[in-house]
Structure formats: structure tokens, C-alpha cells
Amino acid sequence: MDSKKYCYEYPRPSVTTDCVIFGFDGVDLNVLLIERGIEPYKGKWAFPGGFVQMDESAEACAKRELFEETGIKDVFIEQLYTFSDVERDPRGRVITVAFFALVKTSEYQLLAGDDAIKAQWFKIKDIPALAFDHDLILRIAQNRIKGKIRYQPIGFELLDKKFTMPQLQLLYESILEVKFDRRNFSTKLMKTGLLIQLNEKMENVPHRAPRYLMFDKKKYNELQSSGFNFEI
Amino acid sequence: MDSKKYCYEYPRPSVTTDCVIFGFDGVDLNVLLIERGIEPYKGKWAFPGGFVQMDESAEACAKRELFEETGIKDVFIEQLYTFSDVERDPRGRVITVAFFALVKTSEYQLLAGDDAIKAQWFKIKDIPALAFDHDLILRIAQNRIKGKIRYQPIGFELLDKKFTMPQLQLLYESILEVKFDRRNFSTKLMKTGLLIQLNEKMENVPHRAPRYLMFDKKKYNELQSSGFNFEI
DNA sequence: TCACCAATGTGTAAATAAAACACAAAGAAT
DNA sequence: ATTCTTTGTGTTTTATTTACACATTGGTGA
């Protein structure tokens, strides 16, 4: 019996998705990688991904693969770029639609020592050798998040629902790879009118405790539809 | 003889490229469309595009199709977004990698009344019914060019090598759909240091003739590699 | 020929935003 | 109670953006 049962008049490339998953550990920006168990690039690290099925869009595929390989779901995800170099996959012609996702790491405990798939967070400054053209994909993803965080409030997707101003600042600094003046940063962010101050402070810190904040997503959506734009 | 000779173990989508071509006629932003001669959407207007071959990247495909269908080559072209909705093409599963191109309309005279392919410029404000999901593609392309022109000097790709400040301002205004103060616009653009004033003026205008300018691409490339960024 | 007209070229003042900087207050540790 | 580290809330200075005015050019037509 012939296993190659799907036949076409012209040759077709395979289409896959890959997903660059960003997380924030409080100090550094991190990326979630999966160790490949099979050739090619066996033992190398790669982004989770897989083949687009005939009944799902690329975005649906990216979300499905993300959940299947890491257990992550219902997170911010956005199309990044499509990589289509002829030689990018040694197995043949594979076009990949790359996505990037932002996750609150505290909500997803990785199942360490899981049998099938070995997933691990890596600091963005300490990435191992990657499979395929995933180093290129990562570089483009990093540039995208750097550009995007300045004009869209995506940073909050990486923090817990409740966060403090110092945490928010560390996040911005780690993504943009710059340092901000603490006072100017706070003033600017509060001036957006999108941060709600809670009557609650951090506990068990050996100094003055910072107050908790929340991002006002409802207000942002309202402002956005009336032609407002977030700028840091 | 069976024409379906390319067989695979799993089904594969077709992959195409489409290209949104922007041009500027001195007053309005325009888009180049092609009238479809065959079903589906026969008689409707669409972006030029076609199937990705096995030996070419998506970008190479977009450039090839652009030349084959319009005669345009060696222009600014950039990947826009990949459209992969399951139902976007009635012929079957077709994923399209969309691009956008910027052309100097004066350099490409459309072959009016050409037999095979009927191409025509349309003002962005006066677009006919489009085939497939091309109205969605156009909307996303328009948003992209709006965002991009503010932080990259792509406007010059739409103007002749020599242009005047009023022409440049009209271009920015037509893309961004806003009005600028003539004096502030000029000051800001000259302050980038990337415009070379020529000792030449426009002729045969019934008022003071504006001076011609050129974009200093060489200087821009040098500045860019040393971490400079263009901002309007 | 010369005033007229429509647009260009250049500049300045006011308003706004960004950057630099200082001190008081909280809360755990001693 | 004192010390220490970090947060919260300013002010001053500088740079950028916005608003606005007048002189200049060059063809047009009385």
C-alpha cells in the first residue's frame, strides 16, 4: 500500500508554524525552547511548532501546537513573519509561518522531566545553538517585541495581573536593553491613565513595600476604538 | 496519464504570494490592480500574484510574479502578512504570503489595452470590489505603510529621484490621511540631514518655483548601521 | 512695464514633552 | 530608636513640537 496518497498536479511545499514564546522571570526576558528528540538537528533546541492541518488556519495551528507541546493556552499570540528560504529545512521544502507569544510564566509550571517533550526556559542573553533557521527567527522576534512594546501595552501580558512599578520597569528595561530613570518612568506610565493603583502592597520585602498595580484593559480597549494610541 | 503526479503522505495546502503595489500620482496614493480573466472572481480586481515554485522563496516568487504581470522590477518590496484562513479561496486550501511594493509610477507606464493582463491604478479612496480576501489584505497593507512611513524613509521609493518639498508633503499627507503645517514639515524633514538640496528649480509653474531635493540614501545607510533611526 | 497673485523659503514665540535631579516616607533589621 | 534600602512624589532644566508671520520668487495680465 502506498502511503503517499495525497496527489497534486504541481509540487507543493509543506507548511508549518513555529512559535517564539517569551516569558519574564522578574529580571530577564526568557524564551521557551524544546529539545529535538529526532533528526534533523536531534539534541538541538528549537521553537515548538508543527504542520498546518487542512482544516485550521496558521494561527489555529500555532495555538494548537503551543498547547500540545507546552500546555500553554489562551495567551497573547501574534504572527511574526513567514520564512520560506528553499534550503531552510534539510528534509525538503518547508515554509514556516512564525508566531510569537507572551506568557505569564507564573501561570505555567513546566513539567520538568516529562517523558515526551523536554521544554526549558532560556534567558534571551544565553540561548543555546538552535535548530534550522531558528536563530534568525529569534532575532526577528526580539526586534519585533522591542519595537512593539513602545507603542502597544503588550508588556502586561508578561506580568501577573497584579504587579508593581519596579517590576514593570525591569520588564521594559530587559526587553529594550536600556535603563530608565525610575521617577520619569513611573510618571510616564501613570500618565497613560491605564494603570489602576490597588490598596495593597507587596509583603515581606526588607524596605519600603511597593504598591500593586493593575492594567486597565477595559479602558484601553475603549480608548483604542476611539483612535487613541499608547506610546512609551 | 494521470496529471496529479506529485504525491505526499499528508495533504498540503497550496502556497501563493500576492503583492499590494502602491504608487503616488502627485495627489493621491494609488494601488495597482489586475482584472481577473478567469473564475473564481472573474471580472473582479485582485492583486498580482501566483504560486510559489519549489526552487524560489516567497519573496523571489512575489518579485517574479510582479514582473510577469506588470513589468515592474527592482522596486522596494517587503513581506506584509500571511493569510491562511481555511475558506479564503473557493478552489481549495490556499495560503498566501502577502507583500507590498512601492513604485515610482513615472518609471512604469502601464501597457493600456494589453491583451493578456489588464492592470490599472486605483486611488486608495476609490477601490472597486476585490477578489478573495484582498480587501482585508489591502486594509492591512494600508495600516502597515501608515505605520512604517513614520519611522522609515520609504516615502522616497514612491517619488522620482528629484522631488520638491511640497510633493513630499503631499505624499506624507495622502498616506497618513492628515494635514501638516507646511513650515513645520519642511523644518522637520530638513533636520533629518538626509535631504540634499539641488541647484535646480521646478519650471513653468505660475508662482514661485520650488527647489528640487534628493534623498541621501548613502548617508542614510551609513547612519542606520550606526544605530540611528529616522522619525517623522 | 509693473502691480498682482499664488505659492515657496525662512524665522520666532508659545506650549508641550522629555531629561535631570532631590528629598521625604515606609518598613524590616539591628 | 537608629540604620538601611527602596519607594513615592515632586521641581527645574532642556529639548521638541506646535502655532503663527513676513519676505521672496516668478509667471500673469492690465
List all residues 6 or more positions away from A136 whose beta carbon is below 8 Å from its beta carbon.
A83
Residues on chain B touching A89 (C-beta within 8 angstroms): none
CA dihedral A58, A61, A62, A65 (to 10 degrees): -160
Q: Using DSSP, state whether A86 is helix, strand or coil.
A: coil
Q: What is the DSSP letter of A210?
A: P
pLDDT category, A71, cuts 50, 70, 90? Answer: very high
Cα(A147)–Cα(A145) distance, integer angstroms = 5
Closest residue in A to B62 (Cα–Cα): A84
B56-105 tens-digit pLDDT: 999 999 999 999 999 999 999 999 999 999 999 999 999 999 999 999 99
Is the CB atom of residue B111 positioned under 7 angstroms from any atom of strand D? no
The strand pair at A211-215 and B195-201 is best described as unpaired
Question: Cα B137–B140–B146 angle (5° rounding)?
Answer: 140
pLDDT category, A128, cuts 50, 70, 90? Answer: very high
Phi, psi of A154 (to 5 degrees): -90, -15
pLDDT at B226: 85
Interface check for A214 against chain B (CB to CB < 8 A): the answer is no
Is the CB atom of residue B207 positioned under 7 angstroms from any atom of strand D? yes
pLDDT at A229: 87
pLDDT at B116: 64
Residues on chain A touching B56 (C-beta within 8 angstroms): 86
Q: What is the DSSP letter of B169?
A: H
Is the CB atom of residue B209 positioned under 7 angstroms from any atom of strand C? yes
A139-156 tens-digit pLDDT: 999 999 999 999 999 999
Helix/strand number for chain B, H first, E second: 5, 11
> Which residue ranges of chain B lie beneath pLDDT 70?
1-2, 111-116
Is the CB atom of residue B164 positioned under 7 angstroms from any atom of strand C? yes
Interface check for A143 against chain B (CB to CB < 8 A): the answer is no
Q: Please name the member of B8, B93, B97 whose beta carbon is closest to the beta carbon of A84.
A: B97
Which helix (H) or strand (E) element contains residue B124? none
Phi, psi of A9 (to 5 degrees): -70, -35
Q: What is the pLDDT of chain A when averaged over all its residues?
A: 95
Burial of residue A28 (CB within 10 Å: 0-12, 13-18, 19+) is middle
Which helix (H) or strand (E) element contains residue B224? helix B217-225
